[in-house]
Amino acid sequence: MATIRFEALEQISKRHAKLVEYPSNKASDYFGINVFDKVKMKKYLSKEAYNTVVTAAEGGTGIDRKLADQIASGMKEWAISRGATHYTHWFHPLTDATAEKHDAFFDMNPAGDIFESFDGKLLAQQEPDASSFPSGGIRNTFEARGYTAWDPSSPAFVTGSTLCIPTIFISYTGEALDYKTPLIKALNELDKAAVDVCQFFDKDVTKVISTLGWEQEYFLVDSALYHARPDLSLTNRTLMGHTSAKDQQLEDHYFGSIRPRIASYMAELEIESHKLGIPLKTRHNEVAPNQFECAPIFEECNLAVDHNQLLMDVMQKVAARHDLRVLFHEKPFAGVNGSGKHNNWSMSTNTGVNLLSPGKSPKKNLQFLTFIVNTVKAVHDNTDLLRASISSAANQHRLGANEAPPSIISVFIGKKLTQMLDEIENAVPEGKMSPEEKTTLKLNIGKIPEILLDNTDRNRTSPFAFTGNRFEFRAVGSSENCASPMIVLNTVVANQLKEFKIEVDVLVEKGIKRDEAILQVLKQYITYSKKIRFEGNGYSKEWEEEAAKRGLTNIKSAVKAFSAYIEKKNIKLFEKNNIFTEREIEARYEVRIETYMKKIQIESRVLGDLALNHIVPTSIRYQTELISNVKGLKELFDDKDFKELAGERMEVIKNISRYVTSIKKQVNEMIEARKIANKITNATEMANAYEQSVKPFLESIRYNIDKLELIVDDEMWPLPKYRELLFN
């Protein structure tokens, strides 16, 4: 065993599960202790200041300077009491991570006196020198400056010794440079559109929020092994590694008993998350060895997105204390399951109704069906945009690759709901309904709660599945910012609801009763968007064929998937709903393809280095040993015995040469392919070149390395193997 692996494994064997005790058996005793929530605001702010923040948080008015000063001062006082020495605007640039730049609370006046300070101006807006964030060229053409501005709808919190203030991040000229700005806009559009439609059913509805409950899958790897794998440390995935003889075949990890070391990690993660107001509730072992999942109670979408971003940061920090590393990559290990981040999504009213949950009366159920059918139609009309929103170099290994979910976007609604939609389709006539028809339909619609109660069928192969009271967008990648799919989903549903309202109003104006008008439009939508519905096995070959027949797209190329962002029809959709200007969406597209290209470039470089510096020399060293062994045999034995004794070894010697030669040749070709790609000036074409002519080498070089791993002496092999990474 190579020294580095030996040392790493030795370190692990010395590690014992750190016993982590919960501060109290009741999370409610310390939940949100580090959040400047309504309770703390009430204590630290004047009534007027408190009311202003609460109104602003609900999308209301701006905050004037005087009140902002008061709020800042109360926030500072509270933060210092929680151990904060610094503050930062906390935002989501177009990278995989959050961003923060800390400033100390202390200040100095011209006389040199030191005092603690933090005022409304610093709370409300800052101008970080943000010229190094991805902007898709927005700041090249305008100014290098960017602004962060306070988002009062997501409460400030303290982590470590820093007060974090959630903010949006925009350019000097007002263009969004982050995920939060368009997300908030999409949520506002959904609010307006959904309230208008709810008004058909209930005049008391004045606000609709989008709800999100994400399920975060992840792998844990011992940090010593992680650091002994340059591919993991630099690309977050293994670029080589033969499958372990045993991995997930026996299905003994999923929901298995949680090992003490992992359980104590999870315990500390929960404590830290709860202190930050992240309502983690569920934890379990996932399918692959060393793969796990956690999920919170769902929250308003903007807050849930912030909490997921914050959680990913907390997960890594807590892991360090347990000598672990979290892998958020969608496919860190070939041959075993990858990780996703299921986005459970619904809409909920100020009257406490979940719009995707059937109600008790026919009227409530018609409302339920309205939102279901409109969502299905929105997905039907915008599959490519949804597909784009979850595309990345990492998620490409899951979607449409060896493993689920497929890259075909379809919707699963379950048998019973399918029957219900079929019934509407068949029972609603083109013209006026007879009183009998109305009664029968009403009766059946009224039955929905019953039928859904035992509607337990789940389809785990569908990328977008109805699960009883919400849709679950399962194709989202584990490392992704949920905002990306949530911007698109909320926008397309908002847009759809607006169209629906117009169509119903037109029929009502023609003298058709409103309920009937609603049913007629729903019927049209059901027929029109039928092809998006699929109840079968989404992983099967037959589905690919069937989907093609239906005319559904099956986009496997990430670069191609991104292009949906800049299709004319989609630019129009974003503009019409005030989410992105054309310039903003083009910039976003550019950031995504550039990021894609850079990730493949990094992987290609790392693989080339490892192949030439680690794998090839080690293999040759082992081959040299074999050669001297064979030479010794030749000296000792006569020709006949020698042939019998050394024959197999000579074959191994030859094979090593074959693999090594192939690796060297392909690394050189890969470098050449990179050189050609790097000369391309058009970003899309460059990303294309990386996808088409560089990326394939990652697989074919790896194939040869993995073969060598099986041959070369384990003591010499320089990298921790899958069996060590996945079972420690």
Residue 529: exposed, middle, or buried by beta-carbon count in 10 A (0-12, 13-18, 19+)? buried
Q: State the nearest-atom distance from the C-beta of 472 to Mg ion, in Å.
A: 5
Q: Report if residue 212 touches ligand ADP, rule: CB under 6 A.
A: yes
Q: Report if residue 470 touches ligand ADP, rule: CB under 6 A.
A: yes
Q: According to CB under 5 A, which residues from 340 to 369 bind Mg ion?
A: 342
Greatest Cα pair distance, the chain, in angstroms, is 105
- Tell me which residue of 218, 717, 161 sits closest to 479, measured CA to CA: 218
Q: State the nearest-atom distance from the C-beta of 342 to Mg ion, in Å.
A: 5
When binding is defined by CB under 6 A, the residue of 34, 273, 309, 346 that contacts ligand ADP is: 346
When binding is defined by CB under 6 A, the residue of 298, 412, 473, 543 that contacts ligand ADP is: 298
Q: Which does 213 bind (CB under 5 to 8 A by kind): Mg ion, ligand ADP, none?
A: ligand ADP
Site string for Mg ion, 283-322 (x = CB under 5 A): ----------------------------------------
Classify 719 as helix, strand or coil. coil
Q: Name all contacts of 121-128 with Cβ < 8 Å and 24+ positions apart.
A: 121/65, 121/68, 122/72, 122/87, 123/68, 123/71, 123/72, 123/75, 123/150, 123/165, 124/63, 124/68, 124/149, 124/150, 125/149, 125/150, 126/89, 126/167, 128/89, 128/101
Which of 264/344 has CB closer to ligand ADP?
A: 344
Site string for ligand ADP, 234-273 (x = CB under 6 A): ----------------------------------------
Q: State the nearest-atom distance from the C-beta of 287 to ligand ADP, in Å.
A: 12
Q: State the nearest-atom distance from the C-beta of 258 to Mg ion, in Å.
A: 19
Q: Report if residue 211 touches ligand ADP, rule: CB under 6 A.
A: yes
Q: State the nearest-atom distance from the C-beta of 390 to Mg ion, in Å.
A: 16
Q: Report if residue 295 touches ligand ADP, rule: CB under 6 A.
A: yes
- Tell me which residue of 10, 688, 654, 17 sits closest to 321, measured CA to CA: 17
Whether cis (ω within 30° of 0) applies to the bond prior to 617 is: no
Q: Count how many Cα atoms sit within 13 Å of the Cα of residue 530 in the half-sphere of its side chain.
A: 12
Contact at 8 Å (CB) between 266 and 327?
no
CA distance 235 to 609: 13
Which of 342/498 has CB closer to Mg ion?
A: 342
Which of 212/221 has CB closer to ligand ADP?
A: 212
Classify 441 as helix, strand or coil. helix
Contact at 8 Å (CB) between 163 and 76?
yes
Q: State the nearest-atom distance from the C-beta of 332 to Mg ion, in Å.
A: 20
Site string for Mg ion, 528-557 (x = CB under 5 A): ------------------------------
CA distance 681 to 265: 47
280: which strand partners? 296
Classify 24 as helix, strand or coil. coil
Contact at 8 Å (CB) between 342 and 405?
no
CA distance 573 to 409: 19
Instruction: State how beta strands 464-466 and 411-412 pair.
Output: parallel
Residue number of the CB atom closest to Mg ion:
342
Which of 345/525 has CB closer to ligand ADP?
A: 345
Q: Which does 382 bind (CB under 5 to 8 A by kind): Mg ion, ligand ADP, none?
A: none
# residues contacting ligand ADP (CB under 6 A): 15
Which of 167/210 has CB closer to ligand ADP?
A: 210
Residue number of the CB atom closest to ligand ADP:
213
165: which strand partners? 89
Which of 5/470 has CB closer to Mg ion?
A: 470
When binding is defined by CB under 6 A, the residue of 88, 344, 396, 570 that contacts ligand ADP is: 344
Contact at 8 Å (CB) between 474 and 464?
yes
Which of 224/356 has CB closer to ligand ADP?
A: 356
Q: Which does 295 bind (CB under 5 to 8 A by kind): Mg ion, ligand ADP, none?
A: ligand ADP
Q: Report if residue 721 touches ligand ADP, rule: CB under 6 A.
A: no
Residues that bind ligand ADP (CB under 6 A): 211-213, 215, 282, 295-298, 344-346, 354, 469-470
Residues that bind Mg ion (CB under 5 A): 342
